[in-house]
Chain A
Amino acid sequence: MKVYLDNAATSWPKPPGVVEAITKYLNEYGGSPGRSGHDFAIQAAREVFETREILAGLYHVPDSENVIISANATHALNFAIKGLLEKGDHVIISHMEHNSVLRPLTYLHDEGLVRFDIARCDEKGYVDLEHMRSLILPETKMIICIHGSNVAGTIQPIAKIGALCKENGILFLVDAAQTSGFVPIDMQKENIDILAFTGHKKLYGPPGIGGLCMQKNISIKTLIHGGTGSKSDMAHHPEFYPDRLEAGTINTVGVTGLKAGIQYIQHKGIDSIRQNLSELTAHFMRELAKMEEVTIYGPEVHEERLPLISVNVKNKVPSDLAAKLDKEYGIMVRPGIHCSPLAHKSIGSFPQGTLRFSLGCFTTPEEVEYAIQSLKKIIDHENR
């Protein structure tokens, strides 16, 4: 039996429609969008346009031209961070951030360009809003916050952070890599200026696709210059979106798959997927909580969280447990630091990290049961 419980890294399997859409593009009309005027190029351009429109609807972006396609959330976050911040700016982040935020900021800091402070989080991973407020300086240009924690499953109160930003005239950048497709996001209501998402997790697209959504008045300098299919006789790169941030041929294979992935979850209903997955996660947590040796991190079972559970087992190293689960039981999970050292420091699992089980919309109750029993067997066997 093979059980895939690493959906927070990338979701698997993908809906059949995703594979079909990708195959159809490659087999039937694989042209380059926006580059030529022939039938295949136009069909591809329509597909890209419709995907932007769907994404704009999903996050409440005012205009679909402000939906930028990128390779993943990491590229999107780098575009926003390096393309907006200037020398002397100050930034505030949370203590749950992923390396895709921490590292670009650390780089800019080391170059002598920006300073940043880190708002405390409690042991469940929730950001301390009063501490965040107290860190605001006259030079604070941006607050960056992870929406859902890939380590602890914590979902941050982004509407409150958005309100804090608005009140203080600060830009709000949200890392929605883990929540896109799982938690509804409204950039208008939640005062989000810029949102980074990735397509291969809970939007069920293929790896290699993601993007950036922004409000009307955001001016991001591009890091990459090149061909766009527009203003082709000019040496200067165009200023208008989306071309400004999309030099080079975009990943149309990824776009067609992403579109089908979003259509799949919208058809199933994002709320109903969340409800099912939350129940399955809660069951999983309750069973794990019965095992004396197991410590569960993050929000309590009755609190809203992502469908992932990070644990540690007394006197066991997460990587050994993951190897046993994989080799002896066919259960695939992720051990270790999950690209977020800050988050592990917040919840008290640094430096050993955690063993993370993460569910997707195709995870079955039987698979969860099997994972529970398998972990139990490993623990019981080794205690004998």
Chain B
Amino acid sequence: MNYLLIFESTHHVMKAEKLLLAAGFRLDIISTPKEISSACGLSIRMKPENTDLEMVRLVLTENGLTFNIHEKK
């Protein structure tokens, strides 16, 4: 299982990537799976074992980003 962070625009994905990397998180960017969303072509994938979701939410909302988090097998 992975967490998938879905944003409105590519710009937000890039901004989120920069913020999360700066906060020490590990992530990668993938094409958003069609069954999850068609909002933006890209999304951020994070592994649950090294991701504190509450911290992720805090970092992103503090910087004015809106997003959805999905769990993908």
Does A229 contact B40, Cβ atoms closer than 8 Å?
Answer: yes
Does B11 contact A52, Cβ atoms closer than 8 Å?
Answer: yes
If the complex has contacts A37-B32, A230-B40, are A49 and B18 also in contact, measured as CB distance less than 8 A? yes
Across the interface, name the chain A residue whose C-beta is closest to B15. A49
Q: Which B5-62 residues have C-beta < 8 A from chain A?
A: 8-15, 17-18, 29-32, 38-42
Which residue in B9, B18, B30 is a CB contact (below 8 Å) of A242?
A: B9
Q: Which residues of B contact A34 (CB under 8 A)?
A: 9-10, 40-42
Q: Which residues of B contact A238 (CB under 8 A)?
A: 9
Does B11 contact A232, Cβ atoms closer than 8 Å?
Answer: no
Across the interface, name the chain B residue whose C-beta is closest to A37. B31
A37 and B42 CA atoms in complex are apart in Å by 6
Across the interface, name the chain A residue whose C-beta is closest to B17. A46
Residue tally, chain A, CB below 8 Å to B:
25
A63 and B43 CA atoms in complex are apart in Å by 21
Does A36 contact B41, Cβ atoms closer than 8 Å?
Answer: yes
Which residue in A36, A45, A52, A231 is a CB contact (below 8 Å) of B31?
A: A36
Does B39 contact A230, Cβ atoms closer than 8 Å?
Answer: yes
- Give chain A's interface residues, CB within 8 Å of chain B: 33-38, 42, 45-46, 48-49, 52, 63-65, 229-234, 238, 240, 242-243
A45 and B30 CA atoms in complex are apart in Å by 13
The B contact surface, by secondary structure, is: mixed
Across the interface, name the chain B residue whose C-beta is closest to A243. B9
A250 CB → nearest B CB, Å = 11
Does A49 contact B14, Cβ atoms closer than 8 Å?
Answer: yes
The A contact surface, by secondary structure, is: loop
A245 and B60 CA atoms in complex are apart in Å by 25
Across the interface, name the chain A residue whose C-beta is closest to B34. A233
Does B15 contact A240, Cβ atoms closer than 8 Å?
Answer: no
Q: Which residues of B contact A38 (CB under 8 A)?
A: 31
29 A-B contacts (beta carbon < 8 Å)? A33-B10, A34-B41, A34-B42, A35-B41, A36-B31, A37-B29, A37-B30, A37-B42, A42-B42, A45-B13, A45-B14, A45-B42, A49-B15, A49-B18, A52-B11, A64-B11, A64-B15, A65-B11, A65-B12, A65-B15, A229-B40, A229-B42, A230-B40, A231-B39, A232-B38, A234-B38, A242-B9, A242-B11, A243-B11
Q: Which residues of A contact B31 (CB under 8 A)?
A: 36-38
Does B41 contact A49, Cβ atoms closer than 8 Å?
Answer: no
A233 and B38 CA atoms in complex are apart in Å by 7
Interface-centre pick from A38, A45, A46, A233 (highest chain B CB count, 10 A): A45
Q: Which residues of B contact A240 (CB under 8 A)?
A: 8-9
Q: Which residues of A contact B9 (CB under 8 A)?
A: 34, 65, 230, 238, 240, 242-243
Does B38 contact A49, Cβ atoms closer than 8 Å?
Answer: no
Q: Which residues of A contact B13 (CB under 8 A)?
A: 45
Interface-centre pick from B11, B18, B64 (highest chain A CB count, 10 A): B11
B28 CB → nearest A CB, Å = 9
Q: Which residues of A contact B18 (CB under 8 A)?
A: 49
Across the interface, name the chain B residue whose C-beta is closest to A233. B38
Q: Which residues of B contact A42 (CB under 8 A)?
A: 29, 42
Interface-centre pick from B14, B17, B30, B39 (highest chain A CB count, 10 A): B14
B38 CB → nearest A CB, Å = 4
A272 CB → nearest B CB, Å = 29
Interface-centre pick from A49, A230, A231, A243 (highest chain B CB count, 10 A): A230
**Given A229-B10, A229-B40, A230-B9, 6 other A-B residues pairs in contact with their CB atoms under 8 A:** A37-B29, A42-B42, A46-B14, A49-B11, A233-B38, A243-B9
A135 and B8 CA atoms in complex are apart in Å by 42
Across the interface, name the chain A residue whose C-beta is closest to B29. A42
A276 and B32 CA atoms in complex are apart in Å by 50
A33 and B29 CA atoms in complex are apart in Å by 13
Does A45 contact B10, Cβ atoms closer than 8 Å?
Answer: yes
Q: Which residues of A contact B17 (CB under 8 A)?
A: 46
B46 CB → nearest A CB, Å = 15
Across the interface, name the chain A residue whose C-beta is closest to B10. A34
If the complex has contacts A36-B31, A37-B29, A37-B31, are A230 and B8 also in contact, measured as CB distance less than 8 A? yes
